[in-house]
A = this chain, B = another copy of it.
Amino acid sequence: MPQRLIRKLEHFVRLSGGDKLALQGLAQKVRAVGAHEDIIREGDNPLHVNLILEGWACRYKQLADGRRQIISFFVPGDLCDPHVFVLRQMDHSIGSLTPLRFAQIPREALLGVTDRHPRITRALWWETLVTAAVQREWTVNIGQRSALERMAHLLCELFIRLRCVGLSEGNSCPLPVTQTELADATGLTSVHVNRTLQEMRSAGLIVLRSKTLTIPDPAALQKVALFDADYLHLEHEGAHLDANEPEELPNGSTPGTSGAAWTHGGGGSGTQHG
Contacts and interface: CB of A to CB of B under 8 A. Distances in A.
Contact of A144 (B137, B187, B226): B187
Contact of A139 (B71, B88, B230): B71
A260 interface: no
A129 interface: yes
B187 A69 contact: no
Task: Give the oligomeric copy count.
Answer: 2
A135 B139 contact: yes
A139 B142 contact: yes
Interface stretch (A2-10, A17-25, A59-67): A59-67
Interface string A68-102: 11011000000000011011110110000000000
B143 A186 contact: yes
Nearest to A86: B125
A91 B227 CA distance: 13
Contacts of A128: 83
A138 interface: yes
A60 to B, nearest CB: 9
A138 B140 contact: no
Contacts of A39: none
B187 A71 contact: no
Contacts of A262: none
A138 B143 CA distance: 10
A59 B137 CA distance: 12
A182 to B, nearest CB: 12
Interface stretch (A110-118, A165-173, A231-239, A240-248): A231-239
B231 A69 contact: no
Instruction: Tell me which of A92, A122, A132 has the highest count of chain B C-beta atoms within 10 A of its own C-beta.
Output: A132
A33 interface: no
Contacts of A230: 42-43, 89, 91
A132 B132 contact: yes
Nearest to A60: B140
Interface of A: 42-43, 59, 61, 63-65, 67-69, 71-72, 83-84, 86-89, 91-92, 122, 125-126, 128-129, 132-133, 135-140, 142-145, 186-187, 226, 230-231, 233, 235-236
14 contacts: A42-B230, A43-B230, A63-B144, A63-B226, A64-B226, A65-B226, A67-B144, A71-B140, A84-B129, A87-B233, A91-B133, A91-B136, A139-B142, A144-B187
